[in-house]
Amino acid sequence: MKMSLKKEMFDRKNILVVGDVMLDKYWFGDSERISPEAPVPIVKMDRVDQRLGGAGNVALNIANLGVRTSLLAVVGNDEAGSCIRELLERGNITSLLESDSTVSTTVKLRVVARNQQLLRCDFESPLREESLIQHLNVYKKEINGADGIVFSDYAKGGLSHIALMIKEANRLGIPVFIDPKGSNYDKYENATVITPNKKELADVVGKWTNEEQLTEHAQNLRNSLNIKYLLLTRSEEGMTLFSDSGKLTIPTEAKEVYDVSGAGDTVIASLSAAFCAGFSIEDSIVFANVAAGIVVGKVGTAPVTFDEIQKSISSNRFA
């Protein structure tokens, strides 16, 4: 794998991220005793943090690599929605957010003590069809000029029209990258790359007992849906790419794992950025694997920078 890793390659590209955006809230504190009211830890809070989550975290990871990034999603007309807009502006991400006063912006609240997540509370509401139609109309306008489309599916309803969106991208010859969710992958037909983890893939094709079964299941799924590449993320086992060329497994880069929150976001973000910058699919996976190894060593959803990846990539991978 010999490719020059230059930031200028990323600076010239445009990627549109579409999907389920959310606000990740963190309450950080310390816990030294158990509550007398119930067998749960008491956490003394000392810091609150708010970050882009879901498709927002994907967009932030792409933007941090220098790629010109836009985010299309639906949020509520509420405090969380306003916070997401501010975070997008701060992250140099073009906001294409659609506001719907009848819904609540999705929020994930995590309580963290001593680098361990103790509790997560989710706040969300279903999206209206009227908002999704407008969402689709904006997409058809904004897709022109994009070098790649990333769909971040968190099963919150923001990608109800994804089949039509993929069709439009294919018509224009724009590569499509999907972080999937749920057991129905028919809606992802004709995608360029999908990146399920082990559980997500097993929910679709069934469990496997050996590598031969895994390869058969993955290739059958890929071929039946006309998906060019299926990248299976396998935690401590690394990543495996399935394509017309066969199977390629790359071992994990993670040294220490503190938090896997957002690791899937980092994979799809760095993979799409590298591929759109001109990397081969194999080099794009190496790039994404290094990025994922960095992010799991951080607490919570946190983006990876180009400099961090460049520092971690050994000289025998990239010239």
The whole-angstrom separation of Cα 133 and Cα 65 is: 31
| Confidence at residue 43, expressed as pLDDT on a 0 to 100 scale | 92
| Confidence at residue 234, expressed as pLDDT on a 0 to 100 scale | 85
| Confidence at residue 319, expressed as pLDDT on a 0 to 100 scale | 41
| Helix 281-295 / helix 263-276 crossing angle, nearest 10 deg | 150
| Confidence at residue 290, expressed as pLDDT on a 0 to 100 scale | 87
The whole-angstrom separation of Cα 214 and Cα 34 is: 44
CB 62 within 8 A of CB 119: no
The whole-angstrom separation of Cα 101 and Cα 241 is: 42
Is 153 a residue of the active site? no
| Confidence at residue 315, expressed as pLDDT on a 0 to 100 scale | 44
Say what the pTM is: 0.89
Residue type, 120: R
Render each residue's pLDDT in the chain as its tens digit; 319 residues: 455 677 778 888 999 999 999 999 999 999 989 999 999 899 999 999 999 999 999 999 999 999 999 999 999 999 999 999 999 999 999 999 999 999 999 999 999 998 888 999 999 999 888 888 888 999 999 999 899 999 999 999 999 999 999 999 999 999 999 999 998 999 999 999 999 999 999 999 999 999 999 999 999 999 999 999 999 998 778 899 999 999 999 887 655 544 455 578 889 999 999 999 999 999 999 889 888 888 766 555 567 777 778 777 754 444 4
CB atoms within 10 A of CB 282: 15
| Confidence at residue 297, expressed as pLDDT on a 0 to 100 scale | 62
| Confidence at residue 256, expressed as pLDDT on a 0 to 100 scale | 53
Residues making up the chain, counted from first to last: 319
Q: What share of the chain is helix, strand, coil (3-state, %, to 5)?
A: 35, 30, 35
| Confidence at residue 53, expressed as pLDDT on a 0 to 100 scale | 92
What DSSP assignment string belongs to 235-291?
A: GGG-EEEEETTEEEEE----S--S--TTHHHHHHHHHHHHHHTT--HHHHHHHHHHH
The whole-angstrom separation of Cα 9 and Cα 309 is: 15
Q: Distance between alpha carbon 49 and the CA centroid of its chain, in Å?
A: 20
The whole-angstrom separation of Cα 263 and Cα 58 is: 10
Cα distances (angstroms) measured from residue 129 to each of 81, 82, 90, 168: 19, 22, 30, 20
The whole-angstrom separation of Cα 260 and Cα 267 is: 12
Name the catalytic one among 100, 259, 265, 283: 265
| Confidence at residue 114, expressed as pLDDT on a 0 to 100 scale | 85
| Confidence at residue 175, expressed as pLDDT on a 0 to 100 scale | 98
| Confidence at residue 49, expressed as pLDDT on a 0 to 100 scale | 93
